[in-house]
Amino acid sequence: MIDIIAQALGIFGMLCAVISYQCKTNRNYYIWQGLSGVFFSAQFIMIGAWAGLVFNAYNILRAIIYQSKKSKSIGVVILLETLVVAATLTSIFVFKETWWLVGFTFIAQATGTFAMWTRNGKTIRISQLAVVSPFWLLYDLLIPTPSIGGILCELFNMTSVIVSFIRFKKTGFDKT
């Protein structure tokens, strides 16, 4: 029963993430990404995937910070990227996660954090399609209890990004 609940939480996380890519404003994008992080954090606790938990908790914090008007400074992205490194080291040395699995989440998070800091919808979506989703997909597939919601999430995320490019064309993305 715990496994079913855990996988259901991942499905809810996936739905929030997919909705986020259909948002035309970055503010709504960050809100839905934060909700996705909440569901995936709970799932990763239940399946014992501690790096997934640490990085999804980070996603929630990042979403909150990026909604602030003051988050455009270089200091904010430096702080957040430092937290990505701290999350990576915590996952490896405190939670004893396999270093190369954590490496996938490190690459995804570092890339996504910088892309989101640019506030450029096209940059955010390209990084999601080319780096963030593929590296999270590897993590979700290769952890001891694969995350069905995570796997579907990344496949749907990539599809959703492609749909957003079709919907919004080249210039339809919000930059604030």
* The pLDDT of residue 171: 58
| 144, part of any domain | yes
In the block, residue with structure tokens 């496994």: 3
| 60, part of any domain | yes
The pair of structure tokens assigned to 131 is 């780096």
Domain total in the chain: 1
Domain, as residue range, for 88: 2-168
Q: If you ran DSSP here, which 8-state letter would residue 96 be given?
A: -
| 45, part of any domain | yes
| 162, part of any domain | yes
Instruction: Say how far apart CA 170 and CA 41 lie, in whole Å.
Output: 33
Question: Cα 21 to chain center, whole Å?
Answer: 12
Residues lower than pLDDT 50 in the chain: 176
* Long-range Cβ pairs for the range 30-36 (8 Å, 24+): 30/63, 30/66, 30/67, 30/116, 31/63, 31/67, 33/59, 33/63, 34/59, 34/60, 34/63, 34/64, 36/153
* DSSP conformation letters of 105-152: HHHHHHHHHHHHHTT-HHHHHHHIIIIIHHHHHHHHHHSSS--HHHHH
| 82, part of any domain | yes
Contacts of 63 by beta carbon, 8 Å cutoff, 6+ apart: 30, 31, 33, 34, 37
| 173, part of any domain | no
In the block, residue with structure tokens 């190369």: 100
Q: How many residues does the chain have?
A: 176
* The pLDDT of residue 174: 54
Instruction: Say how far apart CA 92 and CA 7 lie, in whole Å.
Output: 24
pTM for this model (two decimals): 0.86
| 26, part of any domain | yes
| 176, part of any domain | no
In the block, residue with structure tokens 């290769």: 142
